[in-house]
Amino acid sequence: MANRTVKDAHSIKGTNPQYLIEKIIRTRIYECRYWKEDCFALTAELLVDKAMGLKYVGGVYGGNVKPAPFLCLLLKMLQIQPEKDIIVEFIRNEDFKYVRALGSLYMRLTGSSIDCYKYLEPLYLDYRKLKRQKKDGSFELIHMDEYIDDLLREERSCDIILPRIQKRMVLEESNLLDSRVSALDEDLEDMETSDEEDIMDIYKEAEKKRSSYRETEKSARSPSPKSGRAASPHHRDRGRKRSRSKERSDKDKKTDKRHKDEDRKHRSHKSGKEHREKDRGEDRHKDRHRDRHRDHGSRNMSKDDLDIQEANELRAKLGMAPLRP
């Protein structure tokens, strides 16, 4: 009797509400201690207090398939079938996040497609952390928006097969739902406007730099306003001094060049003269040596030999054969 559905309960999805949970898991819930002790004779008012004491969400865990208290309270809600207003208050509760998670799962199991999108999609803005129990008994951290996204998109949550719902696109085309406005659209619009403002600021700065650069180029190319006027005496004197100093420097350069050419010519002439004198001295030395040799030979020769020698020298100059003594 304690496990039966209330008499005035309405069938959901064409069947008993408790049958939305699989038979094996349902029998494990009936046999667990939490169901027998804490869920016995619960009403909708007392169920709220039990839901406020939840510490995590989860399905079944362990090798012997133990159900979590979260799953036991869900089956109790399916058994007593509370009113829709109570479930909506569960979902809108901002103080106790596990109460909201329990009401969201119950709405996903029992509500229509329109109710699921209408009441669950606003919970995408809830980023609070939830503790979820795995099948091996360990825990992991998730966020409320992830949990809601799993309810709307996945086929199974907390080890329970979720009923199928229509796609949002079909409901929008049939005008049963308004088009969803994402919370990120405003942020994207703000980012786009800020990007456009940044681009405009960069463009304005570039235009300022370009205009200043053009003005500097124009001032550099255009003649100064003082060029058309008559030069002052001070400027005339400075111009004359510059021209005189330039002429003097040119004259000094010319004189230096002339002196260098003269020194070069003098050196070349002197060197040529020295070479000529050196050659003359060598010729004189050779003539003296030849004369000495001739005098030395003439002393040892007789008069006839000298005559023959002179005749041979003359014949050698004429190209004739020498005479033999």
Q: What are phi and psi of 106, to 5 degrees?
A: -65, -40
Number of domains comprising the chain: 2
% of residues, the chain, pLDDT over 70: 71
pLDDT tens track for 154-187:
999 998 999 999 898 888 888 888 887 776 666 6
Question: What are the φ and ψ backbone dihedral angles of 190, each rounded to 5 degrees?
Answer: -65, -40
Name beta bridge partners: 133: 139
Mean pLDDT of 129-154: 93
pLDDT over threshold 60, residue 51: yes
Residue 250 domain flag = no
Share of the chain above pLDDT 90, in %: 32
Burial class (CB in 10 A: 0-12, 13-18, 19+), 176: middle
Query: Mean pLDDT across the chain, nearest whole number?
Result: 79
Q: Are residues 158 and 292 in the same domain?
A: no
Kindly give, in sequence order, each residue whose CB lies less than 8 Å from that of residue 139, ignoring residues fewer than 6 positions away: 56, 131, 132, 133
- For residue 6, being part of any structural domain is answered with no
Q: Is residue 40 part of a domain?
A: yes
299 versus 191: the higher-pLDDT residue is: 191
Asked, for residue 48, whether it belongs to a domain, the answer is yes
Cα radius of gyration rounded to whole Å, the chain: 62
Residues 6+ apart with CB under 8 A from 197: none
For residues 294 and 312, the model is more confident at 312
Q: What is the pLDDT of residue 138?
A: 92
Q: What is the pLDDT of residue 56?
A: 94
Domain range enclosing 104: 17-165
Residue 304 confidence class, pLDDT cut points 50, 70, 90: confident
Residue where a domain stops, chosen among 119, 136, 165: 165
Average pLDDT over residues 49-65: 90
Q: What is the mean predicted confidence (pLDDT) over 318-324? A: 71
Nearest to 56 by CA among 136, 141, 148: 141
Secondary structure of residue 299 in the 3-state scheme: helix
> pLDDT-derived band of residue 145, with 50, 70 and 90 as boundaries?
very high
- Whether 21 is covered by a domain: the verdict is yes
Q: What mean pLDDT do residues 59-71 have?
A: 90
88 falls within a domain: yes
Instruction: Please check the confidence at residue 70 and state whether its pLDDT lies above 60.
Output: yes
- 3-class secondary-structure state, position 141: strand
Residue 86 · residue 44 · CB < 8 Å: yes
The yes-or-no verdict on residue 52 having pLDDT over 60 is: yes
Helix (H) or strand (E) holding 131: strand 129-133
DSSP assignments along 206-247, one per residue: HHHHHHHHHHHHHHHHSPPTTTTSPPPHHHHHHHHHHHHHHH
Asked whether residue 61 is assigned to any structural domain, the reply reads yes
Band (206; pLDDT cuts 50, 70, 90): confident
Average pLDDT over residues 260-278: 63
DSSP codes of every residue in 148-203: HHHHHH-SEETTEEPPP---HHHHHHTTSSPPP--HHHHHHHHHHHHHHHHHHHHH
Do the Cβ atoms of 128 and 144 come closer than 8 Å? yes
Select the more confidently predicted residue: 19 or 324. 19
**264 vs 49, higher pLDDT:** 49
Containing 35, the helix (H) or strand (E) segment is: helix 33-37
Higher pLDDT, 48 or 246: 48
Q: What is the pLDDT of residues 210-244, one digit of tens each?
A: 777 677 766 766 554 444 444 455 555 565 656 66
For residue 77, being part of any structural domain is answered with yes
What's the token pair of residue 311? 């005749």
Model confidence pLDDT, tens digit, residues 79-125: 998 889 999 999 999 899 999 999 999 999 999 999 999 999 999 99
pLDDT tier at 44, thresholds 50, 70, 90: confident
> 165, 187, 209 — which closes off a domain?
165
pLDDT of residue 45: 86
Query: What confidence category does residue 143 fall into, taking pLDDT thresholds of 50, 70 and 90?
Result: very high
Domain boundary (138, 165, 192) is at: 165
